[in-house]
Structure 1
Amino acid sequence: MHPTVIGLFCGLLLGLAWTTGGFGGLVITAALGIIGFVVGKVTAGEVDLNQYLGGSNRSSR
């Protein structure tokens, strides 16, 4: 699916969350969306979190 279409769907879903849940619902939905995006990138192997978690500082012997 094209990134523009995905962005459109995300915007529509955030708009629905805002109208049904108010501003608090919008913020919670956006935060969960960002977390899901990052988890998806890590799962797909596009983002490496080892540099942030300290896993790449080990020296091999």
Structure 2
Amino acid sequence: MSMAVVGLIVGMALGFAGYFGGFGAFLLVAALGAVGFVAGRLLEGDLEIGDFFRPRGGNGDGRRRPR
């Protein structure tokens, strides 16, 4: 399935949730969609849990480099 079709389906789901359930349902569907996306990426192996907990940049000790 192409990314355009996936985007169309997600947009339609968010639209239905917003129309029939209000803004709270819209946010719930968007949040659960994000969780599902991350879970799918984890299961496919494109993403690792450690990616969320590693410090960005630096020398690996968690401290920032001086400018």
TM-score w.r.t. length of structure 1: 0.81
Identity among equivalent positions (%) equals: 39
What's the RMSD between the two structures over aligned residues? 1.3
CA drift at 1:51: 4.1
CA drift at 1:49: 1.3
Q: Which has the higher helix share?
A: 1
Runs of 5+ consecutive residues of structure 2 not aligned to the other structure: 55-67
CA drift at 1:52: 3.2
Larger Rg: 2
- Whether 1:25 and 2:25 are equivalent positions in the alignment is yes
The residue number in structure 2 matching 1:58 is none
Number of residue pairs aligned between Structure 1 and Structure 2: 54
4+ residue segments displaced more than 6 Å: none
Alpha-carbon distance in 1 for matches of 2:3, 2:10: 10
Runs of 5+ consecutive residues of structure 1 not aligned to the other structure: 55-61
TM-score w.r.t. length of structure 2: 0.74
Alpha-carbon distance in 1 for matches of 2:14, 2:30: 7
Alpha-carbon distance in 1 for matches of 2:52, 2:3: 27
